[in-house]
Amino acid sequence: MNLLKEYHEKKKKIKERLNEFKNLNKKDYLKEMIFCLLTPQSNAKKCFLATEEIFKIKNKTEENIKRILKTKTRFHNKKAKFVVEALKQWKEIERIVNNPNLNIVELRNYLADNVKGYGLKEASHFLRNIGKSDNKIAILDRHILNNLKSLKIIYENKIKTKNHYLEIERKFIDFSNKINIPLDELDLLFWSIKTGEIFK
């Protein structure tokens, strides 16, 4: 894999995509939060469509959400519960997310600990998608882990504990600094190498 060659070919599109995240309207933050709740072990594009459908219905009950998720995500029963809970929590989360004094790592850890259905990966994904990750946190999904393993930065593509996540994140950040590709850009580059597109 010639990473630098791939990066120079895709750099412009990657930067444009990250710019779109940074310029996202704050009223769409909730949508991104729900999208990131749906993505674990599911197809991102189907999760995006499911999120759009959820926000079109007026009555966001667990049953209605379950119906939408049934054909689009895995674990639809559990995720419907998470969505309902997140909608209830949103006012408090919104206040914290928009607090300019919170450091990004603290904010990520708060979300991972307080949003049902979120771990470090989902919280990082959400913050990246609203333009707040600032190259300081990593979305360690299977695409990233497989790429890091193939580059011999890590030797197994499974995360065992929170501390293990943080240890791999540190290695990913060090690698990003070493090859001089910002972390957020490297994330989208890995995603595009695996899927052929720059999504979210």
* Contacts (Cβ under 8 Å, ≥6 apart) of 42: 72, 73, 74, 75
CB count in 10 Å sphere of residue 159: 21
Q: Which of 92, 85, 143, 89 is nearest to 117 (CA)?
A: 85
121 labelled catalytic: yes
184 labelled catalytic: no
Residue of 31, 79, 121, 132 with catalytic role: 121
187 within 8 A of 198, measured Cβ to Cβ: no
Q: Which long-range contacts (CB under 8 A, 24 or more apart) does 117-121 make?
A: 117/37, 117/40, 117/78, 117/79, 117/82, 117/85, 117/86, 118/36, 118/37, 119/165, 120/162, 120/165, 120/166, 120/169, 121/40, 121/165
Q: Which of 110, 116, 108, 113 is nearest to 138 (CA)?
A: 108
Locus of tokens 């600094």: 177
Both tokens of 63, joined, read 């049953």
Residue of 141, 184, 187, 200 with catalytic role: 141
Active site residues: 121, 141
